[in-house]
Chain A
Amino acid sequence: MSLPSDALTNPVPARPTANPGNPPAEFLPPFNTLPDADGHVHGHGDGGSHGHDSLRTLDYAVIQQCMHCGFCLPTCPTYDATKKERNSPRGRIALMRAIADGQMDATKTFAEEMYFCLGCLACTTACPAGVDYAQLFETARATAEHAGVLQSPSRDWTRRLLLKGLFTRPRLLRALGRMLRIYQASGAQWLVRKLGLTKLLGSRLAKLEPQTPQVRAQFSHQLIQPVEKPADDQVKYRVGLLTGCVQDLVFSDINRDTADALLANGCEVHTPPVQACCGSLHGHNGEPGTARMLARRLLDTFDVFKLDAIITNAAGCGSHLKTYNRLLADDKQYAERAAEWSRKCKDINEFLVEIHFRAPTAAPAGIPVDQLTYHEACHLCHGQKITAQPRKILKSIPGLKLTELSESTWCCGSAGIYNIVQPEMSQQLLERKLKHIDKTGARTVATANPGCHLQIANGAAARGKALHIAHPVSLLAAAYRAE
């Protein structure tokens, strides 16, 4: 493939981008040709099922790796809450093994258990035996979905709408985000809340309504040019920047900050204006076929062989993005690119430390960094084992005082869409997190994942606490700007 040197990304099928404020028509196939519940795609062949999607066909060695020592038990938030073995990683793996051995079917209880698991991967940090719980958990949820034991009209509809409809179509997602923005910015949301109209949503949705994130006025592509070069034109690295889904709508400023921090450290930043969802939501929620389809699409968007790194700033995405090599191992066309991708995909914290980022010389303006604590996103510390790097970045910022948070690696209860589907456990964990934050006396909480960011912000707001939440890279970028 020959590419001009300044375009190391491949804008997914060429389409007009003249007016970024007004998204063009959706280019994806119609809704009814998207992959169905078992990951099969009818019509355009880009999902496909896979031998690893079932516990019965998964390499048995992956299951055998667990020697049930139980070292994971004290690190599992659900086991900690119930003290029931089934709610522990070891218990869940025992169930998976029983299914793999043909001693048990994927029952409704099994499926519910797999969705009671936060997927926080704390067990993988604790596990001395090196069990790949992420793979087991994804395969188990796919097995549960395939068995159809949780099917109900409303669940099926919601999953189809979210996983297949919305989170496979970046433009549609942005259009929806824009509508939500108008609703929020025009005062309509205020009015609806004041008039108590949220009651019309039913009790479950009404409870979730206040958690609706505040959508940004501008999305990533309006803030970041497809290619940006460092001010001094001294290019040391060429990197691709992933803008994400939620991050793009709700935290597009963090994407801008990420680009700024990269530019300040000699990176040429390539940011395709339209990017597919990375598929983490799908991979983690039993839709491996769709996850693979989205992974291929993202691989088509970047020329991974010509970039030095692909940067993500959302821990949940990063933890999944780095497994593209496993996800597409059997895909003849994509396996090589996926392997290269997994080698080059880096979390922003990880990458900045790796390239010996420049310590800023000024304190960021207007952010209370002198009383700051750091909450570790599960998929950063457990999923990607990145713990020292964000602290190194934070500590480089003049005037920043970091007070360590007890249980900083304990899940905050956000866990992807867990806070929506398991509100009770999610709230328990949020309560626990906020209590620890309180004890530090921090006014600012740094965290590197949009889910945690929203969860902690919502929790603080609901309790009338003034807490500033910031991504470490935003603080770094703000410090650079203050120079």
Chain B
Amino acid sequence: MSQAAAATDLIAALQRHFPADALITKPEDMTAYSYDGTPMLKGMPSAVVFPTTTEEVATVLRLATESGTSVSTRGSGTGLSAGSIPNAGDIVLCLARMNQILELDTANLTILVEPGVINANVAAAVEAEGLFYPPDPGSMRVSTIGGNVAENSGGLRGLKYGITRDYVMGLEVVLPTGETFFTGTKCVKDVAGYSLKDLFVGSEGTLGVVTKILLKLLPKPAARKTLLAIYEKMDEAAATVSAIIANKIIPCTAEFMDRTTIKCVEDYAHIGLPLDCDAVLILESDGHPAAVDDEAQKMEALCKQHGARSVKLAADLEEATKLMTARRMAIPAMARVAPTTILEDATVPRSRLAEMVRFVQKTAEKYNIQVGTFGHFGDGNLHPLFLANELKPDEIHRVHEAVGEIFDHAVKIGGTISGEHGIGLTKKAYLPGAIGELNVRVLKELKRVFDPKGILNPGKIFEADQPGMEGTATFTHTITRGITPEHLIPQT
């Protein structure tokens, strides 16, 4: 049976289980689920279903497996590697309505949530109890915890606090068969069997569907201080961060933005960032008030020692929050200067970051493309953002050439092709080069264990090769105004 016919059968079967409001198929609705936060790519699903319980998710997956229809799971659709863009004809499983906080356990410092809860809502709920959920991706006001788990999202506090994986204590998972299990416990120590939860974190919707998430919490740091340092040269900013770490200080945040990024962010946020400098560094220390005071003073001195033109301490929490919020807006704010913004997140050991920033700039010049770079200096996670126009295939092609070189270089110096955005569709061509063919083979074999028919988000991370699913992800992603998929997804 063809995929289209299978999808039609599946929709008919789903109609018996879901009311009209929870199962939509109008072309206008499908258009609105054909994209995520990734530029240029689209794929029109055949239906979108909104379950509100684990049982409903299980029903969808069981029926999808029976009919052999592929399913693409989605939250708020803010992904940046096309992981939640459906293949043409997919059923989109949208978890946005599973958005309840189920339990906040202040004795064990955990919170149990449904996948559709927005990251910022978790942060706010635990903060009200004097607790702290550190992972804070740029999209935290929009993106769901389910999506954060699927992509293993990082954020601005990665250096000190780690990433989503470090906070997942347990997951309820529905397998493609509809069978459901819970992996993990509230115990800090738990070695009963393989750590399956870790397999699902960052699996980009290819292994199972997560329906409950148990997260670890920390006590809220009592104090916080935020510094803004301004530099004439990016190298000086990099040297500062190295010096800070060499002095045994781990700031919770060490973010940088280059000139192009600063201009765009300031244009949106109006927070008084200087427009005539090469780089700014945003440094934050949190913890015990005395320690924070001490660290902030030391960091300020180190900034000055390493050539900062000026260092400013945020006057209060409001000013500090404004600064961080502005930084979080960097990606979309860059859209102010170019119609198409192509973002990468190559990551290198932090000692090589300044070198990597220079390499990005050199490569952009070589290919004659405008680039703005910002990111997490502290953890080596770089975000070069190429400013282009999708209506110019040649320009897009040059961006892909440049990205290829940047990835090669990142891998060569001990880095990786994605720090926190995932592989999805946009980076899968580079994956074998980065991790090796054997590694990719093991990934594929693992997928086969959980998803033998290959119905879960096929074609993401690596090519699907189950019968009937081959090549699903490449023939479908068409784009507008004469541009063909070949321009958009680097081909292997």
Contact = CB atoms under 8 A, between A and B. Distances in A.
Contact of A83 (B33, B97, B340, B390): B97
B418 interface: no
Contact of A85 (B77, B329, B332, B390): B77
A64 B336 contact: no
Given A74-B141, A101-B480, A91 B336 contact: no
A270 interface: no
A460 interface: no
A64 B340 contact: yes
B37 interface: yes
B50 interface: yes
B481 interface: yes
Nearest to A99: B31
Interface string A115-143: 00000000000011110000000000000
Contacts of B37: 67-70
Given A61-B339, A128-B268, A129-B333, A94 B34 contact: yes
Contacts, number: 103
Interface string A11-27: 00000000000000000
Contact of A69 (B27, B31, B118, B139): B139
Given A69-B332, A83-B96, A104-B28, A94 B35 contact: yes
A104 B31 CA distance: 9
Interface string B89-101: 0000010110100
B32 A69 contact: no
A370 B389 CA distance: 55
A130 B141 contact: no
A73 B142 contact: yes
B36 interface: yes
A97 interface: yes
B336 A129 contact: yes
B66 interface: no
Contact of B335 (A60, A65, A97): A65
A473 to B, nearest CB: 26
Contacts of A130: 267-268, 335-336
Interface of A: 60-61, 64-71, 73-74, 83-86, 88, 90-91, 94-95, 97-98, 101, 103-104, 107, 109-110, 113, 127-130
Q: Please list the 9 inter-chain residue pairs (A to B) with the smallest Cβ-Cβ separation, ordered nearest first.
A: A129-B335, A91-B32, A128-B332, A64-B339, A128-B329, A85-B32, A69-B332, A86-B32, A128-B333
Given A128-B335, A129-B333, 19 more contacts: A66-B335, A69-B139, A69-B335, A70-B36, A71-B142, A71-B332, A85-B29, A86-B31, A88-B32, A94-B32, A94-B35, A95-B32, A101-B481, A103-B480, A113-B28, A127-B332, A128-B329, A128-B332, A128-B336
20 contacts: A60-B391, A61-B339, A64-B389, A64-B390, A67-B335, A69-B78, A69-B335, A70-B143, A71-B139, A83-B94, A85-B33, A95-B32, A97-B480, A98-B31, A104-B28, A104-B31, A128-B268, A128-B329, A128-B333, A128-B335
